[in-house]
Structure 1
């Protein structure tokens, strides 16, 4: 993260992994509608569909489903896109700058080359400490960690 994007322990949850794949492959896992469903939800959950309008202001909507098939849409919007290096999205908007009913967090993803691999960092920046704590109790580290391992498997196969 740059100097202007400092981490705030009272609002941020951070996951960092060294992924055994180049940044281009890891970035593609996040930006390809056919790849994202293969890894995004921690198993046994699934992603029946994902819509990714990859542009600042574009909608990103990932629909997750639990074991019973109950679907949970996660609409959001891209804020910043630096191909193969950085993605920033938020649930504060649902696409084309339409405000969401209740924003929860903004996600800053970075993909930094490191000896043929990728230093992958996901920062979940919440609006307040209460939302951060709720996300942590929902299993942020476990869930995002499982997904990172699933993403690595997909990225290595590209």
Structure 2
């Protein structure tokens, strides 16, 4: 498997991490000063997963795909290899975002699986560790700096 992955322990309940992870993507999905806006989330296997990222210099990066899995409270999996209505697209990765109970908090794990070694290396060169790490830090801060709801 050609996988890149990051992980963070978050001192908040798994339910809190899941809630922020899935319902507040605009606040953590992109490294600041970038921002994201959810277009559509059909939270089920085969459902449309669409969001747009906006950069500080006017960049607009749409992300279209589908959910391969939506396991409420635990993980969601997306791919850009297929878009809504199962239209084939140029595949880049399968993304997996997970929340696992750990001690008094939760372990957040985000992974990107690629079809080829070259695609994985390209993603790494694009700044996977720094970019996805910054997003994990933003998620962690949101979860830990607010009281449990």
TM-score relative to the length of structure 2: 0.90
Segments of 5+ residues of structure 2 without an aligned counterpart are: none
Count of matched residue positions in the alignment of Structure 1 and Structure 2 = 146
Task: Give the one of 45, 63, 70 matched to 1:74.
Answer: 63
Segments of 5+ residues of structure 1 without an aligned counterpart are: 1-7
**Matching residue of 2:8:** 17
Residue 39 of structure 1 pairs with residue 28 of structure 2: yes
Confirm or deny: 8 A CA contact 2:69 2:76 kept in the other structure.
yes
Q: CA deviation at 1:25?
A: 1.9
What whole-Å deviation, never above 9, does each CA across 1:55-91 have from its counterpart, x for those lacking one?
1111111210111222100111101111111211111
Q: CA deviation at 1:29?
A: 2.5
**Matching residue of 1:30:** 21
Confirm or deny: 8 A CA contact 1:21 1:118 kept in the other structure.
yes
**Matching residue of 2:133:** 145
Q: Which runs of 4+ in 1 moved over 6 A?
A: none
Q: CA deviation at 1:126?
A: 0.2
**Matching residue of 1:103:** 91
RMSD: 1.4
**Matching residue of 2:82:** 93
**Matching residue of 2:111:** 123
Counterpart of 2:118 in 1: which secondary structure? helix
Q: For residues 43-58 of structure 1, what are the structure 2 equivalents within 5 Å? A: 43-58=32-47
Q: Distance in 2 between matches of 1:76 and 1:86?
A: 16
TM-score relative to the length of structure 1: 0.86
Between 1:123-132 and 1:65-74, the stretch displaced more is 65-74
Counterpart of 1:21 in 2: which secondary structure? coil
Q: CA deviation at 1:123?
A: 1.6
Higher helix share: 2
Higher strand share: 2
Counterpart of 2:133 in 1: which secondary structure? helix
